[in-house]
């Protein structure tokens, strides 16, 4: 498939994506409860990726995600989701939500380490902090994205 075909070719439906991000977040919490820290963080990262992809579908009024979005780049996905100006704003970066976004982004850059390193490299506190960054109802990244118009 050529690069141009990735824009025309469609993948998962927006409805499936909407359910999938919630499932990956639930997986993250179950894995955390089982002491599987690396897998919990990975699932949480997948949840935020899929939530951003869901937002892109909504903004573009697409019933299916373009294959070009089958990526793990949170900044790229945030750009497609119309959030780049916000995440680059110094005021946002200084906010609690912006700090949470920065922490999530840093962990997303370690996705390969999460996949290929032993679970013992990640502590319960690492996972607790990460899940708080995602799920805090007032400042968490998921709440923030969901509250955006």
Q: Residue 54 is part of a domain; what is its CATH number?
A: 1.20.120
Q: Are 56 and 80 in contact (CB under 8 A)?
A: yes
- What pLDDT does 8 receive? 66
Q: Residue 142 pairs with which residues in a beta bridge?
A: none
Tell me the pLDDT tens digit for each residue of 1-32: 566 666 666 678 899 999 999 999 999 999 99
- Which range of residues forms the domain containing residue 10? 5-147
At residue 92, does pLDDT exceed 60? yes
Q: Which phi and psi angles does 101 have, rounded to 5°?
A: -60, -45
Mean pLDDT of 89-101: 97
Q: Are 38 and 112 in contact (CB under 8 A)?
A: no
Determine the 3-state secondary structure of 88 from DSSP.
helix
User: How far is the C-alpha of 95 from the C-alpha of 98, rounded, in Å?
Assistant: 5
For 39-54, b/e burial (b = at least 16 CB within 10 A) is bbbbbbbbbbbbbbbb
Exposure of 79 in the CB half-sphere (CA atoms within 13 A):
7
Which tokens sit at 133? 């960054």
Tell me the pLDDT tens digit for each residue of 122-148: 999 999 999 999 999 999 999 999 999
Total count of domains within the chain: 1
Q: What is the pTM of this model?
A: 0.91
Tell me the pLDDT tens digit for each residue of 37-52: 999 999 999 999 999 9
Q: What is the mean pLDDT of the chain?
A: 93
Confidence tier at 112 by pLDDT (50, 70, 90) = confident
User: How far is the C-alpha of 79 from the C-alpha of 76, rounded, in Å?
Assistant: 5
H or E element at residue 66: strand 64-66
Share of the chain above pLDDT 90, in %: 80
């Amino acid at each position: 498939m050529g690069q141009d075909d990735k824009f025309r070719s469609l993948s998962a439906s927006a409805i499936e994506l909407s359910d999938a991000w919630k499932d990956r977040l639930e997986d993250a919490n179950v894995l955390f409860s089982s002491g599987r820290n690396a897998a919990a963080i990975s699932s949480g990262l997948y949840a935020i990726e899929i939530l951003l992809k869901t937002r892109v579908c909504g903004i573009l009024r697409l019933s299916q995600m373009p294959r070009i979005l089958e990526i793990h780049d949170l900044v790229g996905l945030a750009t497609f989701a119309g959030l780049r100006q916000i995440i680059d704003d110094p005021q946002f970066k200084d906010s609690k939500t912006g700090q949470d976004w920065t922490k999530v982004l840093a962990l997303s850059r370690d996705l390969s380490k999460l996949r290929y390193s032993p679970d013992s490299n990640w502590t319960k506190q690492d996972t607790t902090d990460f899940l708080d960054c995602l799920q805090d109802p007032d400042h968490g990244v998921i709440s923030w994205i969901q509250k955006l118009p």
